[in-house]
Chain A
Amino acid sequence: DTAVSQTPKYLVTQMGNDKSIKCEQNLGHDTMYWYKQDSKKFLKIMFSYNNKELIINETVPNRFSPKSPDKAHLNLHINSLELGDSAVYFCASSQRTRMVSDTQYFGPGTRLTVL
């Protein structure tokens, strides 16, 4: 009964490859997010989707393309992977898009290592 799940948990790949990370939430939330946590644990938002629509894009390189087939899923596809993409990627969701008091629920993270 995991609320926010991500697959895979670990991803090791070579530079230049293309990879995807999947996220699913079973909370019935409208909004989903992708965050990147670097090696120093700094956590920064990348994207936010509301009901399949992109609402926040934090000047992420266009090699990163989020896709939301429905409001319960938000996948992250990364083209031409670079060493600097190595990080832990977290998916999150919240119930109501414009409610600033809403809690965001985080997935367990995907540790991406680019060799």
Chain B
Amino acid sequence: DAGVIQSPRHEVTEMGQEVTLRCKPISGHNSLFWYRQTMMRGLELLIYFNNNVPIDDSGMPEDRFSAKMPNASFSTLKIQPSEPRDSAVYFCASTLGTGYGYTFGSGTRLTVV
């Protein structure tokens, strides 16, 4: 298996622009998580899905952030409009479920200038 695939690996954008991050979970994994990593706040959960349904989005910073999982093999995290404070590494992870480990993608490093 190719693991959890995230794209792009790096993204540099100007403040105010829309940014879309993409994730393909491991086939058969029914739960998907979006995390953000910064020096100040560490690893924080933004949102997670079970069977394509959002379960907990309490970590989504504000209305500028939105996430979708239209099917079991694809998810997006969108930021519109982007701000410099959104600069971070965004990770996607998936798991088979209770009792299993979580597999992380390589992350997307987002820089908003």
Q: Are A and B physically bound partners?
A: no
**B residues touching A (Cβ–Cβ < 8 Å)?**
none
**A residues touching B (Cβ–Cβ < 8 Å)?**
none
